[in-house]
Amino acid sequence: MTAATTRQAAQTSAGSGPEAILALLPLPVLMVDAENRLRYLNGAAEDFFGVSAGTAVGRSLGEMLAKDSPLLTLVEQVRVSGASLTEHGVTIGSPRIGARAVSVDVGPGPHAGEIILSLQQRSIAGKIDRQLNHRHAARSVTAMAAMLAHEIKNPLSGIRGAAQLLEQTAAPNDQELTHLICEEADRIVALVNRMEMFSDQRPIERGPVNIHEVMQHAQRVAMAGFARGVTITERYDPSLPPVLGNRDLLVQVFLNLLKNAAEAVPKEGGELLLSTYYQQGVRMTPHASEARHALPIVASVQDNGLGIPEDLRPHLFDPFVTTKPSGKGLGLALVAKIVGGHGGIVEFESVPRRTVFRVMLPAAPAGKDELR
């Protein structure tokens, strides 16, 4: 029996009772028991996963999803906390259905351990896609960053110290080598420090911030260094209210976006456009514990480079994704982490000669003075 006929059957057998309504609801709805075995799925869920209820009920939810699917983590989170949560931009993938970005509502079911999930393929403002919400990328690197920082920094300072001692008695030729050891050790420490930011789970301290001041500061730094020779145009909406943010972290966001843009443009005729504007209707629920909030302030960085290679796009914000010989592939992962920590969204659009990264941020509550 296909999902459509199952639904028709449900319609005729259950009349217009709640079960028939659920069966016909266009949103995929599932319920799992305390062991994550499927107890129920409606017609839309059958269509979504490409299975029939007859074969799926009794099977484990994990079997229908990729092993490390964030959905399983969300289910566990709700089971432990007992509180419902909504997550936007969750990628659900399996060999059968491919990867799809959805918004998921997860809540406790009628009996202990049972969990009800409903999925929405409709995205906030029709825009949620794989690249929008990258907290998973940041999360996956968190544990590793903490471990690396701990395990690498200590021995490294030992190595550096030893090299400095050697330097005192080394012949001039060998001093070059001890220098090299110190320099390379410093480079590793700098990388580890950058990675350590990922393991910082503390909430970001935020206040009202003038986004234009942030962008102008990043622009000045860029023009003094990595963006020398590139034409930068600004198109700001001066009436924008302050964002609710952390000024220094936001500077880091725009420095990374500007650096990528400057590295992407041609040597001759490189052009960047920095702009800001106000948008209505994009909302986000970042965590179960946090209220839904609007993201009305958009700040974007556009360049006229060749664009983002197609094969890179699905993983662009993951750490260590790079096409540059000396790139670390940490810039965009950091951008995603910081913007996510602001409850915001970063997305991109890219065609040759026009690549735009857009950062959407919440506005500071009215009535507070601007900090900077």
With CA atoms as reference, report the closest residue to 118 among 103, 97, 100, 136. Answer: 103
Centroid of chain to Cα 176: 43
- The yes or no reply on residue 322 touching ligand ATP (CB under 6 A) is yes
- The yes or no reply on residue 270 touching ligand ATP (CB under 6 A) is no
Tell me, what DSSP letter sits at residue 329? S
Pick from 31, 211, 330, 345: which binds ligand ATP (CB under 6 A)? 330
Pick from 42, 91, 210, 260: which binds Mg ion (CB under 5 A)? 260
Pick from 299, 308, 338, 364: which binds ligand ATP (CB under 6 A)? 308
User: Between residue 230 and residue 259, which ones bind ligand ATP under the rule CB under 6 A?
Assistant: 256
Region from 18-26, 180-188, 206-214, 260-268 binding Mg ion, contact rule CB under 5 A:
260-268
Q: What is each CA distance from 241 to 166, 283, 296, in whole angstroms? A: 57, 17, 10
How many CB atoms are located within 10 Å of the residue 154 CB? 10
Bridge pairing between strands 297-303 and 293-294: unpaired
User: Between residue 45 and residue 74, which ones bind Mg ion under the rule CB under 5 A?
Assistant: none
Q: Which does 261 bind (CB under 5 to 8 A by kind): ligand ATP, Mg ion, none?
A: ligand ATP
Q: Is 117 in contact with 32 (CB distance < 8 Å)?
A: yes
Pick from 184, 315, 328, 349: which binds ligand ATP (CB under 6 A)? 328
How many CB atoms are located within 10 Å of the residue 236 CB? 15
- The yes or no reply on residue 303 touching ligand ATP (CB under 6 A) is yes
Instruction: Identify which of residues 72 and 306 has a Cβ nearer to ligand ATP in the complex.
Output: 306
Secondary structure of 288-309 as H, E, C letters: CCCCCEECCEEEEEEECCCCCC
- The yes or no reply on residue 90 touching ligand ATP (CB under 6 A) is no
Instruction: Identify which of residues 101 and 141 has a Cβ nearer to ligand ATP in the complex.
Output: 141
Bridge pairing between strands 115-120 and 98-108: antiparallel
Q: How far apart are CA 175 and CA 177, in angstroms?
A: 5
Q: Which does 119 bind (CB under 5 to 8 A by kind): Mg ion, ligand ATP, none?
A: none
| Structure tokens given for 227 | 């963006």
φ, ψ at 287 (rounded to 5°): -135, 160
- The yes or no reply on residue 261 touching ligand ATP (CB under 6 A) is yes
Q: Which does 321 bind (CB under 5 to 8 A by kind): ligand ATP, Mg ion, none?
A: ligand ATP
Instruction: Identify which of residues 331 and 362 has a Cβ nearer to Mg ion in the complex.
Output: 331
Residue nearest to ligand ATP (CB): 331
Task: Render the burial of 335-363: b for 16+ CB within 10 Å, e for the rest.
Answer: bbbbbbbbbbbbbbebeeeebbbbbbbbb
Binding-site ranges for Mg ion (CB under 5 A): 260, 331
Binding-site ranges for ligand ATP (CB under 6 A): 256, 260-261, 264, 303, 305, 307-308, 312, 316, 321-324, 327-333, 355
